[in-house]
Amino acid sequence: MRDLRGEPISLASEAAPKRRRRFPWSFLIFLALLALVGAGFLIRPQETPHPGGRGGIAGLPVPVATALAQTGSMPVTLTALGTVTPLTTVTVKTQISGRLINLFFTEGQEIEAGAPLAEVDPRPYEAALKQAKGQLARDQAQLKNAQLDLNRYTQLVAKNAASQQQVDTQQALVQQFQGTVEMDEAQVRTAELNLEYCHITAPVTGRVGLRLVDRGNYVQAGDSTGIAVITQIKPITVLFSLPEDKVPQVLKRLNSGADLPVVVYDRNRRAALATGKLVTIDNQVDVTTGTVKLKAQFDNADEALFPSQFVNVDLLVDTLTGVTVIPSAAVQRGAPGT
């Protein structure tokens, strides 16, 4: 085809329409949907577990166990922290000076009162005893001779053959020898005691600790260390403290003659160690803590309690009878007033 001017016209250029750029509406719709889903997760309420439910399914009842309240007895117990304390602890020391030649005990041994523990070299004290006895015998002989002379002078005075002055002088001499003999007897007794002290015995029944001195050492009465320590552990006591406002209740029961049982547990309260009874209460309040000390005694036949051991104490003060009781598992403790 040609135009009005006779120029040829291209049919292909007329048939092809102009192409327009399309706006990306599908991409905007996708972003809007994604934003809605995210907002839904943010504002969705959080699910909380059903109270009391333990592993239950949401919306279903949680199974529980039931028990009936009953009428019975309920103990009134006071708890405290305590320390195991032996009835007697003795540091065995020598009463004389000398070389330690024998030890008759084994560390950790159970020993009876009066059993031999150690021996100090007795030879110097044996010699001192012999010397004291010899001096006593000499002075006793002099006293006897002075008494005979006094008797003779007394008879001569009766016959006017001697003066009264001679009798008086002889009487004073006799008294002097009597005093000397008494001193000698005291020296003999002292020497005998020193010889006894060479043989050291256990003053109490208990368990011997580690030895504090070895054989061959020179010991003397002024030593502060001693030879060994004996601790009485059967029976044994536990000292513990209670607040001062609890003391009147305990003291009233104790003064009435009632036996107040005491049970001690290990430091973790997992096992009961021993059962005993309260024996005494201290006579004053510790002003720094506001507590009062109490002492309980235990037989400790199985030696479950050891000196200076830390324990938990349960003191049974009273038992309430005819009260309504429920299982302890049914009681839930919360804030005061709940």
The amino acid at 311: V
Which residues in the chain land under pLDDT 50? 1-5, 9-19, 50-53
Element (H, E) at 250: helix 247-255
Q: d(Cα 13, Cα 149) in Å, to the nearest integer?
A: 182
pLDDT confidence of residue 239: 97
**Of residues 253, 243, 123, 288, the one with CA closest to residue 191:** 123
The full set of domain ranges for the chain reads: 75-87+233-326, 88-120+201-231, 122-197
What is the CA 32 to chain-centroid distance, rounded? 75
Long-range Cβ contact pairs of 53-58 (< 8 A, separation 24 or more): none
Instruction: Write down the pLDDT at residue 336.
Output: 63
At a CB cut-off of 8 Å and minimum separation 6, what does 318 contact?
A: 75, 76, 249, 253
First to last CA, the chain: 102
pLDDT at res. 36: 65
pLDDT tens track for 27-84: 667 666 666 666 555 555 555 554 444 555 555 676 777 777 777 677 888 999 999 9
- pLDDT of the residue at 121: 97
Res 231: pLDDT: 96
Q: Please provide the DSSP assignment of 128-187 as one string.
A: HHHHHHHHHHHHHHHHHHHHHHHHHHHHHHHTTSS-HHHHHHHHHHHHHHHHHHHHHHHH
Q: Which long-range contacts (CB under 8 A, 24 or more apart) does 63-70 make?
A: 67/326, 67/327, 67/330, 69/324, 69/325, 69/326, 70/324, 70/325, 70/326
- Which CATH number does the domain 75-87+233-326 belong to among 2.40.30.170, 3.40.50.300, 2.30.110.10, 1.20.58.110? 2.40.30.170
Helices 123-158 and 164-197: angle between axes, nearest 10 degrees: 160
Determine which helix (DSSP H) or strand (DSSP E) holds 43, and give its type and residue range: helix 25-43
pTM of the model: 0.68
Q: What is the pLDDT of residue 11?
A: 44
3-state SS assignment for residue 190: helix
Fold of domain 88-120+201-231: OB fold (Dihydrolipoamide Acetyltransferase, E2P) (2.40.50)
CATH of domain 122-197: 1.10.287.470
Q: Within 13 Å of residue 126, how many CA atoms lie on the same side as its CB?
A: 5
What is the number of residues in the chain? 338
